Amino acid sequence: MSTAIALPTFEDVIARFDPVMGMEVHVELGTVTKMFCGCSTAFGAEPNTQVCPTCLGFPGSLPVVNQMAVESAIRIGLALNCTIAEHCRFARKNYFYPDMPKNYQISQYDEPIAFDGWTEVTVDTADGAQVFRIGIERAHMEEDTGKSLHVGGATGRIHGASHSLLDYNRAGIPLIEIVTKPIEVDPALAPAVARAYVTELRELIRALGVSEARMELGQMRCDANVSLKPRGATVLGTRTETKNVNSLRSVERAVTYEIRRQATVLDAGEKIVQETRHWHEDTGETTPGRVKEEAEDYRYFPEPDLVPVAPSRDWVERLRGTLPEPPAARRARLQSEWGFTDLEMRDVVNAGALGLVAETIAAGADAAGAKKWWLGEIARTANERGVGVEESGITPAQVARVEELINDGALNDKLARQVVEGVLAGEGSPDEVVAARGLAVVSDESALASAVDDAIAAMPDVAEKIRGGNMGAVGALIGSVMKATRGQADAKRVRELIVQRLTA
Amino acid sequence: MSSISRDEVAHLARLARLDLEPDELEHLAGQLDQIIGAVAQVSEVAADHIPPTSHALPVTNVFREDVLRPGLTADAALAGAPEAEDGRFRVPQILGEEQ
Ligand SMILES: [Zn+2]
């Protein structure tokens, strides 16, 4: 959809309106089997090869709850400072759509397993880092739906399709839906806070080890609820729910777009329609989807095929004991271990490279070296390709190996950059790139010595200056030697050789 | 007074994707009214000290281990499907919006 009217700027809108946000994040758990049956959850299998009578909704089949999924849900709830229900039920959410073969989805409705929690997120502002507490309304268990392929229409959209094809491998994979309380912050920071929340949640989920939470694989999916109220108003505005917001960057962009779009509608004296909207990464716009069905239209009722879940307090406390260090505490600890400034640490976190830098250091690299690569060469390449640093094609162990080669004197900085470039280009491991590109530092002492002698002979006036004590002139000779060795000499050793010859 | 209106029946029919004729709506409204009336007798005997019951058995926490169990092959899964294509269930054009 192209809007004919230009949207007001974000700055203009937030000078007049207060946005209120609510985030709903679905996380696919990394359990081996599905929520209610023993089918595999592995990604990428041939269609309908990870299915059984239960997840296909065959008559007479019965669901049985995956204990690991319940444990993961409780651990997520605890990590989000929630209360864990002493007793909760599953519910049937009834709707007709072929992505659920049963014609209902088993979910939780009025009795979520975890509720009333909070988490803290940090956002960079002009006045330094600011911490926001985000309230968590609930985290509940449900099952994922199948995947539809719409055939015959344009670009796989449902409109104009002649028919659809269904793959139920994903149907029944455990999902945890995490819903925030309304988020009202400094309007200027609203989109950044939304992004920071999803970033924090992803980090937390990964730290818990309950999911890889890879947004590009749909393992973590975000819906953003946004409403506007005129400055000073107390009544909440009508909200829209933007779906399909599936990258961290999109979270920020979609919230910003929706704030501006709603202001346009309100400025024109019209009403916001309560509806689902779809986010389009390519155009940076949202378009209307279905008008939100009232909750009661799903005709929720307690799932008769499953008995309630009643986690004993013992069990909950045992699970609390398995929680990892909270992300904020971990960041603080790592920052002091690595000796990074606040700014350096923030750069690492904002680049999504905290885990990668930590792994690189664990693999033997020093902190400064690890940071330099992940925020430099690798971030640049990932950015150019439009992927996250974790998908750049180089592993922490490989980065640590490059650093090791530098420390051993086998590579200088310039050669190391070429090695990293080669690994990123898919040419193999650092050692393979070194071998294939012939990138080893010239360590043949006699070859180096003769290159130094040649340089001195070619630049007698420079040599004279050095003899006269002008050490600033050494750089010119080093440059000449590096040129002659096509950058493959160890610059430190070249300097030593020059100084030996001219000042002895 | 009937406990369910014709409009409510029409609404439920729409949610269930049932295309009912006006006389069918009338007929079902009457039937549903009787069913609701029969079930409502429970609320006459249920005093305040009796909590609503959703499960007949006083059992909780029935779980299974997170262990793979063999399921169906794609062929077996699709054997009963009215139509299949490329290993997938083929369904007619979906009306309405994407979920
Ligand atoms: Zn199954």
Residue B24 confidence (pLDDT): 93
pLDDT mean over A190-201: 95
Hey, what domains does chain A have and what are their CATH numbers?
Answer: 10-319 (no CATH), 327-437 (no CATH), 445-503 (1.10.10)
Average pLDDT, chain A: 91
Asked if the structure places residue B88 within a domain, the reply is no
Interface of A with B in 48-77 (CB under 8 A): 48-53, 55-56, 64-70
Which of B72, B75, B85 has the most A C-beta neighbours within 10 Å, making it the best mutation to test the interface with A?
A: B72
**Closest CB to A33 among B59, B60, B66:** B66
ipTM surpassing 0.85: yes
Parent domain of B20: 6-45
- pLDDT greater than 90 at residue A110: yes
User: Closest by alpha carbon to B31, among B16, B12, B14?
Assistant: B12
Question: Strand, coil or helix: what is A270?
Answer: coil
Q: What is the pTM of this model?
A: 0.80
Asked if the structure places residue B97 within a domain, the reply is no
User: Closest by alpha carbon to A398, among A363, A346, A440, A435?
Assistant: A363
**Closest CB to B67 among A33, A56, A94:** A33
pLDDT mean over A112-141: 93
Sign of CA dihedral A137, A139, A144, A149: positive
CATH code, B38: 1.10.20
Query: Is there a contact between A37 and B92 if contact means CB atoms under 8 Å apart?
Result: no
User: Closest by alpha carbon to A26, among A167, A174, A170?
Assistant: A174
State the nearest Cα–Cα gap between B51 and chain A, in angstroms: 14
Query: With bands split at pLDDT 50, 70 and 90, how would you rate the model's confidence at A372?
Result: very high
**Which chain B residue shows the shortest CA-CA distance from A99?**
B99
Residue A1 confidence (pLDDT): 46
Residue B98 confidence (pLDDT): 53
Which of A159, A162, A165 has the most B C-beta neighbours within 10 Å, making it the best mutation to test the interface with B?
A: A165
Asked if the structure places residue B56 within a domain, the reply is no
Asked if the structure places residue B13 within a domain, the reply is yes
How far is residue A211 from each of residues A118, A220, A362, measured CA to CA in Å? 20, 9, 22
Residues on B contacting A at a C-beta cutoff of 8 Å: 15-17, 54-55, 57, 59-74, 77-78, 85-94, 96-99
Asked if the structure places residue B57 within a domain, the reply is no
Amino acid in position A310? A
A94 alpha carbon to ligand 1 midpoint, in Å?
20
- pLDDT greater than 60 at residue A291: yes
Stretch among A28-37, A124-133, A136-145 having the lowest mean pLDDT: A124-133
How far is residue A349 from each of residues A125, A203, B38, measured CA to CA in Å? 15, 10, 62
| A162 and chain B in contact, CB less than 8 A | yes
Asked if the structure places residue B24 within a domain, the reply is yes
Q: Which residues does A36 contact at the CB level (< 8 Å), separation at least 6?
A: A54, A55, A63, A64, A65, A66, A106, A143, A172, A306
How far is residue A294 from each of residues A25, A44, A291, A413, A467, measured CA to CA in Å? 20, 35, 9, 62, 88
* CA separation for the pair A389, A353 (Å, rounded): 7
User: Closest by alpha carbon to A169, among A45, A59, A284, A259?
Assistant: A45
Query: What pLDDT digit, counting tens, does each position of A469-485 carry?
Result: 888 888 888 888 888 88
Tell me how many domains chain B contains: 1
| A313 and chain B in contact, CB less than 8 A | no
**Closest CB to A163 among B63, B90, B99:** B90
Q: What are phi and psi of A220, to 5 degrees?
A: -140, 125
pLDDT mean over A217-243: 93
Q: What percent of chain A has pLDDT over 70?
A: 96
Strand partners, A222: A25, A245
Residue A294 confidence (pLDDT): 55
Residue B97 confidence (pLDDT): 53
Query: What pLDDT digit, counting tens, does each position of B13-55 carry?
Result: 888 888 999 999 999 999 999 999 998 888 888 778 887 788 8
Asked if the structure places residue B26 within a domain, the reply is yes
Asked if the structure places residue B73 within a domain, the reply is no
Interface of A with B in 140-159 (CB under 8 A): 145, 148-150, 157-158
- pLDDT greater than 60 at residue A263: yes
DSSP B15-73: HTT----HHHHHHHHHHHHHHHHHHHHHHHH--TTS---S-SS-----EE-S-----B-
